[in-house]
Structure 1
């Protein structure tokens, strides 16, 4: 069977990241990410004997007309389209248009949208055949096999489909049974790897999966909806083998280790570092983590293994907000984590969320001031989004906090929810203020100039500053 995976263009040309729970414009990161899940799907189905291809319209700057031509040239039997909330209507329209124009027998949607909205997605398009709920690799492998051999579809966990016009919602996937070590390395040979570059240096980088699943209960997070609550660790040697392949075959030596928390199991994280060091791999990488799972020894080992930037899930500097969000961390944890990371010589990116239950102008102000005073080098500021299926989504629905029915507004840069004391507009203004205060400082300008390596990096930084000034 011929299976074509598509990361579709956005309607207005904005470059979007669609990867698991991360669905936002490239502008907030100034770097385009590898669609690593699509690459995993392609390699997994290829290993099962299917002919696979990937078209990343965002990276290759392909419009709909060009996409139709390339799809016709590939002539797929199954079309798989990536989706994200900010572009969901366009994503589904493009999938429908491709099926109508190019004639593949079947079209499927993957991504967090299907996992959360399920059959609601079919309201936007009558000719979409399948929706994947949860991580898609095993589901799509079973689907391709069933379609090719005309087998029943009812036993494929996580699949939503139509049977003679009747909607069928299969049992959920048991993702604890999905052994991530069964996945081959992602099909990077099908991707335009020179388009995924670091914003300041222009060097190639890629996402590299270290594990899936999250056992924590943060009320705003969608991670365990998509990957499950069990933390599934990837084999350490497989991880480092993939790093070696990226360096030797693809000329990539910069990585974003993709997972919910690199230090969720500190011994595991340290073992990955030990193997990188043992093989003497000269790589640079970043990753994210919780603030309550760090220790000095691990951080120094991470630095030695090439960790250059560590993202910390801080969210708020107000304990009440952390508690109502069921974050399970304390202000002391945050302060200690920032200090330990700085002492290890690793740069820090703080991740903050405004508008969570209990947030006020005063608590938000304290969080902004912490970001300015703590010495962290970078920051990402988000608006709380009440995604369906999360506890925050349920609270917001019960309390009447949600101010839109447009699913495309479910975007971390857009405030669509008020809370007990703040309007959605006030929350948006707080986020805009945080970005301006943090990045439009002389200190940040000097830091960016020092890190620039070429002219494209200058324009990337300029675009980022314009994005901040515009309050996007």
Structure 2
């Protein structure tokens, strides 16, 4: 065993400013790392000594991470590059790679594994390009524990470790072992109840979640109630670590107990439900809501979660609001039915408008998520998307450029067709300097990005939106958004002289 007796050190990579530029300083959330928690709980239940190093929350640079690992000398260090949403795994790879190189510089003999959605999607490439000894292909807990146990024994049999990607000899070809089974009992095995291992005072909510009281961004926590997604949108890579569309749920009473623990132990009232699709199974959602109401303080809670337009049941909305849900995020994606169909989002525009209004009428704010540059997009369809966003006038909006994230069907299509992809992993970030979205059949990547950035500023400078915001949340929220929208992202792709598309198609 390593000096000090530490079996496993799980590392959450940082690099917020690389991903978000200046927006990462104050506006973005800092979330507890879900998969660090889940792997840590699984390992600790099996008798391993575990620590989590959240370099994002602690604002540690690569050299500091390297020194911290050298001081602890665990049997195994694991870089957990999952990110806080499926598309964020690839974005974290820049910081994760830098930290891995720093670890190997500080302690060359340290066994190091990298796990996450991106490594699962590109295991052989990750092993070839990153300064790691092993890659995990899959969700991680089983592979990590088996590897620690093997490294602690005499002459480890690496070929027997499920989900491991490794080399038999330095510089040799990658060996991909058989897959680890998906964990069936989430409550017994993936409970993630290791909050004592995290710097809880460091986490904060997104700015928009607390428009009514910006001081309430801390304390903050994110929890999950399900894993996976039964849908298969072409732009999404959520199922890369799971290699299936299987949808697994936690027992509602365990979810409620976790909220109660975090509220009583750490004073948390502001929560994110990290599920890619929370409002899906009506019985599951209803049981969680009824349990939260039963705690007796749901009116003090501020929760947000993801939903689909076609799974929001009007009968649930009042219950969600009484349970403390103040925000729902909807994947609207496009204002063009043809473009939505091409992305496997078959929604009618009338349904989108009706569902948004029902949610708002229930007292729940809406985040509309929109994508520009899907394969069938044109300047006209992108303008239709922005017009729809302005018509809906949601309390907040996220504007994305279509990205071919590793693990998505769009990525496979881009590689098959030879479409240009970002030169570095940070280029997959929506807010990075080197952001490079997909081109469409009629528009270059630069034109798509220019439209996206212009759409952001047009939406958040719209007097109708700002007036609604002031009426709903107060003058402070309006002033905050006006200051937020004053930030202009620098874009490498837009520094050459390119004719603006937004105004031309208005």
TM-score by length of 1: 0.89
The aligned counterpart of 1:401 is 419
CA distance in 1, matches of 2:105, 2:331: 43
Contact 1:386 1:393 in 2 (8 A): yes
* Cα distance change, pair 343–104 in 1 and its aligned pair in 2 (3 A): farther
CA distance in 1, matches of 2:307, 2:360: 15
The aligned counterpart of 1:42 is 40
Which residue, out of 206, 209, 229, partners 1:214?
229
- TM-superposed deviation, 1:44: 2.0
Moved over 6 A (4+): 457-460
* Cα distance change, pair 65–403 in 1 and its aligned pair in 2 (3 A): closer
The aligned counterpart of 2:118 is 113
Matched, 1:82 2:83: no
CA distance in 1, matches of 2:31, 2:482: 19
CA distance in 1, matches of 2:462, 2:195: 38
List aligned pairs for 1:57-456, cutoff 5 A.
57-83=55-81, 84-103=89-108, 105-125=110-130, 127-150=131-154, 151-165=156-170, 166=172, 167-175=174-182, 177=184, 179=186, 181-198=188-205, 199=207, 200-201=214-215, 202-227=217-242, 228-282=244-298, 283-413=301-431, 414-442=435-463, 445=466, 447=469, 451=473
CA distance in 2, matches of 1:349, 1:233: 24
CA distance in 2, matches of 1:115, 1:289: 26
TM-score by length of 2: 0.84
Contact 2:422 2:436 in 1 (8 A): no
Normalized per residue, the structure richer in strand is 1
Give secondary structure in 2 for the equivalent of 1:58.
Answer: coil
Give secondary structure in 2 for the equivalent of 1:223.
Answer: coil
- TM-superposed deviation, 1:277: 1.1
**Alpha-carbon deviations, 1:243-277, whole Å to 9, x = none?**
11101112111110111211221221111101111
- TM-superposed deviation, 1:207: 0.9
* Cα distance change, pair 9–256 in 1 and its aligned pair in 2 (3 A): closer
Give secondary structure in 2 for the equivalent of 1:256.
Answer: strand
- TM-superposed deviation, 1:85: 2.3
CA distance in 2, matches of 1:143, 1:448: 54
Contact 2:14 2:57 in 1 (8 A): no
- TM-superposed deviation, 1:116: 1.2
**Alpha-carbon deviations, 1:159-191, whole Å to 9, x = none?**
211222342111233326464542233422222
Please list every run of 5 or more consecutive structure 2 residues that lacks an aligned counterpart in the other structure.
Answer: 1-5, 82-88, 208-213, 493-506
- TM-superposed deviation, 1:451: 5.0
* Cα distance change, pair 233–119 in 1 and its aligned pair in 2 (3 A): same
The aligned counterpart of 1:20 is none
Give secondary structure in 1 for the equivalent of 2:347.
Answer: coil
CA distance in 1, matches of 2:307, 2:472: 27
CA distance in 1, matches of 2:143, 2:483: 39
- TM-superposed deviation, 1:471: 6.6
* Cα distance change, pair 140–328 in 1 and its aligned pair in 2 (3 A): farther
Q: How many residues align?
A: 461
The aligned counterpart of 2:496 is none
- TM-superposed deviation, 1:100: 3.4
Please list every run of 5 or more consecutive structure 1 residues that lacks an aligned counterpart in the other structure.
Answer: 18-23
CA distance in 2, matches of 1:189, 1:276: 23
Give secondary structure in 1 for the equivalent of 2:9.
Answer: strand
**Backbone CA RMSD of aligned residues:** 2.8
CA distance in 2, matches of 1:459, 1:72: 46
Give secondary structure in 2 for the equivalent of 1:349.
Answer: strand
CA distance in 2, matches of 1:68, 1:189: 23
